[in-house]
Structure 1
């Protein structure tokens, strides 16, 4: 880089003229170097004082930065942070779970992965929430840190509406037909049973159809879906009510009327067929059919004997 020499110029009303004169010339540094040179000169002359222990602090900071960089490259940052915060009193000692009825607290603790030395500071609540949300009964979950040593887990669980039998499997379902979990015990035995393909998705609509017929609804044990179009309803005494594909309300009104007038559903019958609008067909049980046939035969004999005697 070239250095320029300029002559000191006298102030006048006329225009200043720069000349290259060996006498009375000054050396001018390039602009980027001037500040650095001034700092070095001031440092050397003692006009700038350096605080005590600056070198020590700088060395420690450099080593710490190097250590953190090495931990980051090796993937040990989380481990070191957890060990450090646990040592100073942030180890998780209490987990408070609320809103759980069907979800076990043990399942939640296992998903949190607590081992007695887990640090509250290092706990990833978003990851914990996502893990707990995978449990079958959990509809919504909130995980919160309560310093210094507590984790709060608040659940909202799904509600079992009915039991769905598909093949040989039994599952608990919500009102919208979503499967919650397999049925494992008799805790939900009082729930209505829906059987067949697509029965789970149509469950809520058919139950609503029986809302205004509580005397019959209370006796229903199972709804069986037939060909994905209509329902057979099984009562608690074994009678099967065959409903039509359409006009279920009309069919139920007819059934309720017959039951009030003749105690139809208390009789020894096997089925009530309501599929045809203009007629109702009653199917007897085998024993009732035998008794009825015997009664018919006796009546025929009696009529025959009476005819012969006359």
Structure 2
């Protein structure tokens, strides 16, 4: 207040006792607000975020809160989604994938990660083209998006493959290392011929002439006695190449097929019987005669069956022998 009793500034209403300036006093009988707004704002800084008082939002028009060109973007996105769905449902995507691969594969090839080289090691009977076809690998693949697990699983289903490993060599090479099962013989049953291993396991079906030189066993369970048949072939010595097949009869004994001649072997002592056959052939050329079967099941004799021409010739010779007068010098 100056000397004339005037205030230099407009008076400001003082707050009630204990309150900030300008804070109206509470009505009589009402407890004053503790600390007032200013004190509440100071205390709010020390409270957890979820306990702090929230400011009332300022009303802003919705068009000012939305991003610019949102409607145009949504429209383009909608039409793009419709076009993509039509492309897929109409078969366009499947045709493109069948011709050029998936979009990921195309992108990887464009970046220099195409599958340009496949190295296959361990091939003996199989061919590279068969491996690639079984693995599902062609020029549409790319190295980054080719699953080595899927390739290995596909190749493991090939009966002639015993073990296989697949490894990527960046940027553009795939290495396949495999071990083939060793075919031991052919097994014919019910008119079908299969390639089998030494233990009788079926490796694959006979599809071409690659395995035509393998020994052939015929009959039920003949595959399980392949080792026994191979031992008979070794005992045949010089006759081995003339034996075309071995038929297991009733699961008990073998009958060998030699150039149209059946050689019946005993149930026991089959190798000894084959040795007898080798000796007979060396001494008398038994297998060169007009016979269709040789029975070696009896240990003390050999029974042969003549062909029709041989039987007729033998019968004619016997008749001539009987017609000769007695005492005639021959």
Report the TM-score when normalising by structure 2: 0.62
- Name the count of aligned residue pairs: 233
**1:135 matched to 2:155:** no
Which stretches in structure 1 are left out of the alignment for 5+ residues?
1-36, 41-78
Please give the residue correspondences for 1:26-45 in structure 2 after superposition, counting only pairs within 5 Å: none
**1:168 matched to 2:188:** no
The structure number with the bigger radius of gyration is 2
Q: What does residue 67 of structure 1 align with?
A: none
Distance verdict in 2 for CA 1:112–1:262, change over 3 Å: closer
**1:209 matched to 2:232:** yes
Separation in structure 2 between the aligned mates of residue 209 and residue 288 of structure 1, nearest angstrom:
29
The Cα of 1:128 is off from its aligned counterpart by: 1.6
Q: What does residue 77 of structure 2 align with?
A: none
**1:232 matched to 2:255:** yes
Q: What does residue 208 of structure 2 align with?
A: 185
Distance verdict in 2 for CA 1:97–1:295, change over 3 Å: same
Give per-residue Cα distances to partners, 1:238-270, cap 9 Å, x unaligned.
111100000112212222221221111222111
Q: What does residue 306 of structure 1 align with?
A: 326
**1:268 matched to 2:290:** yes
Conserved 8 A contact 2:159-2:203: yes
Give per-residue Cα distances to partners, 1:68-125, cap 9 Å, x unaligned.
xxxxxxxxxxx99878766654333222223234434344434544565644334332
Separation in structure 2 between the aligned mates of residue 80 and residue 187 of structure 1, nearest angstrom:
41
Distance verdict in 2 for CA 1:208–1:114, change over 3 Å: closer
| SS of corresponding position for 1:275 | coil
C-alpha RMSD over aligned residues: 3.0
**Residue 146 of structure 1, aligned match among 137, 155, 169:** 169
Q: What does residue 272 of structure 2 align with?
A: 250
Worse overlay, 119-128 or 162-171: 119-128
Distance verdict in 2 for CA 1:121–1:244, change over 3 Å: same
| SS of corresponding position for 1:298 | helix
Q: What does residue 282 of structure 1 align with?
A: 304
| SS of corresponding position for 1:283 | strand
Separation in structure 2 between the aligned mates of residue 235 and residue 129 of structure 1, nearest angstrom:
44
The Cα of 1:289 is off from its aligned counterpart by: 0.9
**Residue 297 of structure 1, aligned match among 314, 319, 327:** 319
Separation in structure 1 between the aligned mates of residue 199 and residue 140 of structure 2, nearest angstrom:
43
Worse overlay, 253-262 or 96-105: 96-105
Worse overlay, 218-227 or 190-199: 190-199
Which stretches in structure 2 are left out of the alignment for 5+ residues?
1-45, 50-101
